[in-house]
Structure 1
């Protein structure tokens, strides 16, 4: 596996990976309706690209195929997205991406890293030492989705 910086030409592949992951991996913890509003299949690619470029974004590749991505808002100390391809689960991709984001945050002098973890991702972050700050519900398309605000003291 290789980690590399984001390129604008990646945005469509990342949107597809996000859609496939939510509708397969996260489907075990969320209803079909929740997954449908979370990952509609029609994201605003220009907004995604702008967000990825504004953040520090890593792409995980294996044999030239994108198998995961993560992005960090360094100024806010916020790990925004961390998604691993449905066929690359439990192979260290998420760990490598999270390691890179945490190392970047430390190097930038961030003292506390925050993420909003899905039900599915909560055990992964808890195992890394992220503490539960609070449970919350976010609204997407009139539907509520539960997630968890978690923090890691760096």
Structure 2
């Protein structure tokens, strides 16, 4: 798979990847009904489309020419030295193949002025936490409102860049 910038034509495939990945990851934590409600909101075509034109951001997909294996979205915060990794998801059938690392590497390369990369992750998502810890992220605290507006608690992890 190669990593490239997402385009509007990718949005249906990105949404499908996110819905399937979220159900595989979070049904056991939140229940399928809640996951469906979250994905219908956060991962709607309109919500994804808005990210394509967001300033100071990078929206990436991992593509093999036939399907998308992963996606990532990151944006600079009000402090341009801090980039927030809003999303990094790899389809369950494509995990443990280096796709997540490739997406993460491209996110880091996309913000050369940044000094740190920050993210929020569900505390029960042990696989994601292990992935991020293996790639240099360290705990920086907790939030009671993951992503702002969800009401879901999360760990805050951060990696120094440069």
Q: Give the CA deviation at 1:29.
A: 4.3
- For 1:103 and 1:125, locate their aligned partners in 2 and report how far apart those are by CA, in whole Å: 17
Contact 1:34 1:144 in 2 (8 A): no
The match for 2:62 among 60, 63, 72 is 60
| More displaced stretch, 18-27 vs 45-54 | 45-54
Aligned residues: 151
Q: Give the CA deviation at 1:136.
A: 2.5
- For 2:146 and 2:134, locate their aligned partners in 1 and report how far apart those are by CA, in whole Å: 27
Contact 1:118 1:147 in 2 (8 A): yes
- For 2:141 and 2:10, locate their aligned partners in 1 and report how far apart those are by CA, in whole Å: 33
Where do residues 6-85 of structure 1 align in structure 2 (5 Å cutoff)?
A: 6-40=6-40, 43-54=43-54, 55-74=57-76, 75=80, 76-85=82-91
Contact 1:16 1:41 in 2 (8 A): no
The match for 1:128 among 119, 129, 135 is 135
Unaligned runs of 5+ in 1: none
Q: Give the CA deviation at 1:123.
A: 1.5
Unaligned runs of 5+ in 2: none
Cα distance change of structure 1 residues 77 and 67 upon mapping to structure 2, 3 Å threshold: same
Between the two structures, name the one with larger relative contact order (CA 8 Å, sep ≥ 6): 1
Cα distance change of structure 1 residues 30 and 145 upon mapping to structure 2, 3 Å threshold: same
| TM-score (normalised: structure 1) | 0.84
Please, what is the CA RMSD of the aligned residues?
Answer: 2.5
